[in-house]
Chains A and B, each alone.
Chain A
Amino acid sequence: MNIGEILLNLWNNSGFAAIIAGFTSQGGWQNLVMIAIGCVLLYLAIVKKFEPLLLCGIAFGCILTNLPGAGLYHQELWNNFMNAEHEAYHSYGAILREGGLLDIFYIGVKTSLYPCLIFMGVGAMTDFGPLLSNPKSLLLGAAAQLGVFAAFFAAVAMGFTGGEAASIGIIGGADGPTAIFVTSQLAPHLLGAIAVAAYSYMALIPLIQPPVMKLMTTPKQRTIKMVQTREVSKAEKIVFPIVVTIFVAMLLPDTAALIGCLMLGNLLKETGVTDRLSDTVQNALMNIVTILLSTAVGSTMVGSNFLTAETLKIVVLGVAAFMLSTAGGLLGGVIMCKLTKGKVNPLIGSAGVSAVPMAARVANVEGQKANPSNFLLMHAMGPNVAGVIGSAIAAGFLLSIFGA
């Protein structure tokens, strides 16, 4: 037994040796930078409370995937998976055979299982009552998709392919699961950057939206008090998810998975006879899937993929998409305000960007700053949940164009 040889082997197998040996040639420095980025993201999640439920997992996945020698995630396996010339093309068997733990987690992203299950949880936690009592809110949800298509156009202008541009544009939908759903299919190599941008900007909504709101509306418009909307019956709330699923999935079949799961979750909540299931979807299932999804998304943040000029472009385009979507919703709100002769406070339009319920809260806060006795929260929840449906439709359109 040669103890020296054993120790040498241990050293050679360690991540430290791998980083030193491949510092410049095999991306060792990139791994270190990515581990540092992971730590910064953890700081933002834990200390600054930026979407901590997701960012914690994403950041930790980023650290895990960049540990040299750990073999938890293999980018090359997924490259082969997407290479039509390779024998492992679209073979989950090869991933299961040769992959690490995070590769197996990532199968749930690749098959779109996690985003759909998250949507089911979102549906089970969403009250569509404000939307049903004021169906015109749907127009604001549509108007607020402006950023999706404007950022898509800008991304193409900056040299991205159609699929990549569509994935970047959908950041403007301010809907994490939808962004992951689209990107995992159209531009999986950008998933890490897009997910981080989408969730970071969603956390920054209270900072991003107010300046746009002040720019697009007058002080007088911001003081408008809206009248209470009608009460919605239980039967109406039960019929709604069924109708939406059939209607939207018939219009854009590519949205069937997202809308179907969203509305199934909502139906479980509203029926009143499936409380156990609703409770599981809202809590246990949602939490489990959040852990798997966030870690899997973080695992795609491999240095060679992430430390590129494209990531910087995505960061810029992402914030532009958010701001333009907010502006689109506000523009819709201003038009609605004029058409109703001042009965609609245009601030509620900004909530059309999804990001439930953060965007609605921001609209409420800004409304109260202008008029302390103004309560816009329930009025803003209508466009807010309409934005979820709107971004799903936008995603369906982009998938139907670039997913073929």
Chain B
Amino acid sequence: MFLTDNPAPITLGEAGIYALLGYAVVFFGLIMLMTVVIIIGKCFIAAEKKRKAQAEPVVVAPVEVAAPTAPGAAGDLKLHNVEPKVAAMLMAIVADKLGKPLNELRFVSIREVEE
């Protein structure tokens, strides 16, 4: 395995055919892979929707719920369209950049900016 030596020269015509064929094979391979990835993605999205739909009846009545508090924040931190996990990560990054421990920083609110 992995031991080959092929010194035979090839003609320019052969080289052209190999080049075109090779480029086509790369496209073919990646288009097929793209199709597979799209199908897998659709399956996962459908499964996720189904899971959410099954989970929905559990919610009895829409209640005005206060924005959740992110873990690890000092004081109340309002989250608007931001998952607690993402908020925790953002706070950790800010603390790291400022070079200060997280418990010495106060975050008031985190809001996702829609473009």
| Interface residue ranges, A against B (CB under 8 Å) | 82, 90, 110-112, 131-132, 135-136, 138-139, 141-143, 145-146, 148-150, 152-153, 156-157, 161-163, 165, 184-186, 225, 230, 232-233, 235-236, 239-240, 243-244, 247-248, 251-252, 386, 389-390, 393-394, 397-398, 401-404
Residue in contact with A135 in the complex, picked from B10, B29, B38, CB distance below 8 Å: B38
Asked if B108 CB lies within 8 Å of chain A CBs, one says no
Which of B3, B27, B30 has the most CB atoms of chain A within a 10 A radius of its CB? B30
Task: Assess whether B22 is in contact with A394, with CB atoms less than 8 Å apart.
Answer: yes
Query: For the complex, what is the distance from the CA of A231 to the CA of B110, rounded to whole Å?
Result: 20
Interface pair A402/B12, CB less than 8 Å apart = no
B19 x A390 contact (CB < 8 A): no
The answer to whether B9 touches A149 (Cβ under 8 A) is no
11 contacts across the A-B interface (CB closer than 8 A): A131-B37, A138-B30, A138-B37, A142-B31, A150-B19, A157-B12, A163-B4, A186-B4, A233-B48, A393-B25, A397-B26
Quick check: B6 and A156 within 8 Å, CB to CB?
no
Q: Is the CB of A135 within 8 A of B34?
A: yes
CA distance A95 to B44 in the complex (A): 52
Give the residue of A132, A156, A386 whose beta carbon is less than 8 angstroms from that of B15.
Answer: A156
Q: Across the interface, do A139 and B5 meet the contact criterion of CB distance under 8 Å? A: no
A111 touches B10 (CB 8 A): no
- Assembled-state Cα–Cα distance A138/B3 (Å): 31
Q: Which residue of A lies closest to B45 (CB)?
A: A230
- Name the one of A148, A389, A403 contacting B30, with C-beta atoms under 8 angstroms: A389
Evaluate contact between A397 and B31: CB separation under 8 angstroms: no
Q: In the complex, which residues of chain A have a beta carbon less than 8 angstroms from the beta carbon of B12?
A: 153, 156-157
Does A236 lie within 8 Å of B41, measured CB to CB?
A: yes
Give B42 Cβ to nearest chain A Cβ, in Å.
10
Q: Name the interface residues of B39-66: CB closer than 8 Å to any CB of A.
A: 40-41, 44-45, 48
Closest to A162 in B: B10
**B40/A239 in contact, CB under 8 A:** yes
Q: In the assembled complex, which residues on chain A have CB atoms less than 8 Å from the CB atom of B33?
A: 138, 244, 247-248, 389
**With A and B bound together, what is the CA distance between A153 and B76 in angstroms?**
65
Top-9 shortest CB links A-B: A156-B15, A149-B19, A142-B30, A135-B37, A138-B34, A162-B10, A138-B30, A153-B19, A393-B29
Asked if B94 lies at the interface with its beta carbon under 8 angstroms from chain A, I say no
Q: Please tell me if the beta carbons of B31 and A138 are within 8 angstroms of each other in the complex.
A: yes
**B32 contacts partner chain A, Cβ-Cβ < 8 Å:** yes
Minimal beta-carbon separation of A381 from chain B (angstroms): 15
Report whether B44 and A235 are in contact in the complex, using a CB–CB cutoff of 8 Å. yes
Residues of B within 8 A of A244 (CB): 33
Q: Which of A139, A225, A235, A404 contacts B6 (CB 8 A)?
A: A404
CB-CB under 8 A for A163 and B6, given A142-B26, A244-B33: yes
A149: which B residues are within 8 A, CB to CB? Answer: 18-20, 22-23
Given contacts A110-B2, A138-B31, A152-B15, contact A161 B22 (CB under 8 A): no
Smallest CB separation, B73 vs chain A (Å)? 23
Cβ distance A79 to chain B, nearest Cβ, rounded Å: 11
Q: How far is the CA of A150 from the CA of B22 in the complex (A)?
A: 10
- Decide if B44 touches A240 in the complex (CB within 8 Å): no
- Assembled-state Cα–Cα distance A339/B44 (Å): 27
In whole angstroms, what is the CA distance A398 to B15 when docked? Answer: 11
Contact indicator A157/B41 (Cβ below 8 Å): no
Closest to A109 in B: B2
Q: In the complex, what residues of A have CB within 8 A of residue B31's CB?
A: 138-139, 142
B23 touches A146 (CB 8 A): yes
Q: Which one of B4, B16, B21, B36 has the greatest number of beta carbons of chain A within 10 Å?
A: B4
